Amino acid sequence: MSEFSQTAFIDWHDAFENGAYIPGSAQLPEQWSRESQVLREQLAAAGRLDADIAYGQDDRQTMDIARPEGASQGLVVIVHGGYWHKFDKSWWTYLARGCLAHGWSVALPSYRLAPTVPISRITQDMVEAITIASQRVDGPVRLTGHSAGGHLVARMLSEDACLPEPVFQRLVHVVPVSGIYDLRPLMAHPMNESLQLDLDQATAESPALHGPRTGVPLTPWVGTEERPEFLRQTRLLCEKWGAQLPEMNGVYEPGRNHFSVIDGLADADSPLVHCLLQLD
């Protein structure tokens, strides 16, 4: 029996429940969608949006690349969350605002979702999406992602990650936000009906259970007002990878919850954008 079985004393359902602890959370998806639609229309009108770029055969294996005014400084890839079974790129365009304002091109990929594919295939989707995006934008590459997206960008630095070496050599910073780095507790969560994790799969896809590739700065980021499990997950990754990545620093942003923490990407002056772009 797994140590994260349904008989565990921890209520894993509650541990990963964010919306119930954030007032007004039910209205947030509509707000994200509305703000993203406005920005997409603005970018398209200015000829600065490459929409629905295919990186695979499935309808969900597409991405948008938003381009800044003037010359691009390089590429930022923002990977969305949704516990690997919800949302797509169209909800999150608004998050590109902060990096666009500093002259960076921003790729926003969708990916196939559970239960259609296992998380291992979603990881591979991100390898393919980042590779294709890097072929379309010159310069250094920075990765960030939220929640499940935080997990996915951390996986790109796992020792068994399959990013092509030329792409890996262009990575200059990875900032997973509110990520989940040990997937084993999710086996005891009702969402595992969709994720369909067993112990082997959960172990294989957990960055904290593997060593990191070295040479790329990593900054796990989380809000201080998040559920305790997300704080624990960030501490765990820092503890597991810190010895091999001496440049690694976890950031606990005061006053931010699981949803407000990612809004920093939409603000050019936010600590999150300044960290991601290494402006300070």
**Binning pLDDT at 50, 70 and 90, where does residue 9 land?**
low
pLDDT above 50 (res 189): yes
Calculate what percentage of the chain has a pLDDT beyond 70: 97
Interstrand relation of 171-177 and 141-146 (parallel, antiparallel or unpaired): parallel
pLDDT (0 to 100) of residue 162:
82
pLDDT above 60 (res 1): no
**Binning pLDDT at 50, 70 and 90, where does residue 7 land?**
very low
pLDDT above 70 (res 197): yes
**Binning pLDDT at 50, 70 and 90, where does residue 10 land?**
confident
Three-state secondary-structure class, residue 182: coil
Is-contact 220 233, C-beta < 8 A? no
pLDDT (0 to 100) of residue 19:
84
pLDDT (0 to 100) of residue 280:
77
Other CB atoms closer than 10 Å to residue 156's CB: what's the count? 26
- Alpha-carbon dihedral sign for residues 197, 14, 254, 110: positive
Mean pLDDT along residues 190-215: 96
Q: What is the pLDDT of residues 19-57, one digit of tens each?
A: 888 888 889 999 999 999 999 999 999 999 999 999 999
Radius of gyration of the chain (CA): 18
Would you state the torsion angle of the CA atoms of residues 77, 80, 220, 247, taken in this order, to the nearest 10 degrees? -10
Mean pLDDT along residues 108-136: 98
> Tokens representing 149?
């997206």
Calculate what percentage of the chain has a pLDDT beyond 90: 89
pLDDT (0 to 100) of residue 161:
78
Q: Where are the alpha helices (DSSP H) in 114-220?
A: 119-136, 148-155, 165-168, 192-195, 199-204
Task: Report the C-alpha gap between 117 and 265 in whole angstroms.
Answer: 29
Answer left, alpha or beta for residue 94, where phi above 0 means left and psi between -120 and 50 means alpha.
alpha
pLDDT (0 to 100) of residue 247:
81
pLDDT (0 to 100) of residue 8:
54
Task: Report the C-alpha gap between 263 and 31 in whole angstroms.
Answer: 12
> What's CA 22's distance to the chain center, in Å?
20
Three-state secondary-structure class, residue 22: coil
Interstrand relation of 49-54 and 62-66 (parallel, antiparallel or unpaired): antiparallel
Task: Report the C-alpha gap between 180 and 38 in whole angstroms.
Answer: 30
Q: What is the pLDDT of residues 217-266, one digit of tens each?
A: 999 999 999 999 999 999 999 999 999 998 898 999 999 999 999 999 99
Mean pLDDT along residues 123-150: 98
**Binning pLDDT at 50, 70 and 90, where does residue 192 land?**
very high
**pLDDT, the chain, mean:** 95
pLDDT above 90 (res 142): yes
CB-based contacts of 203, cutoff 8 Å, min separation 6: 183, 184, 209
Task: Report the C-alpha gap between 222 and 231 in whole angstroms.
Answer: 7
Q: Taking Cα atoms as reference points, which of 183, 57, 75 lies closest to residue 128?
A: 57
Mean pLDDT along residues 88-115: 98
Task: Report the C-alpha gap between 112 and 62 in whole angstroms.
Answer: 10
Is-contact 242 248, C-beta < 8 A? yes
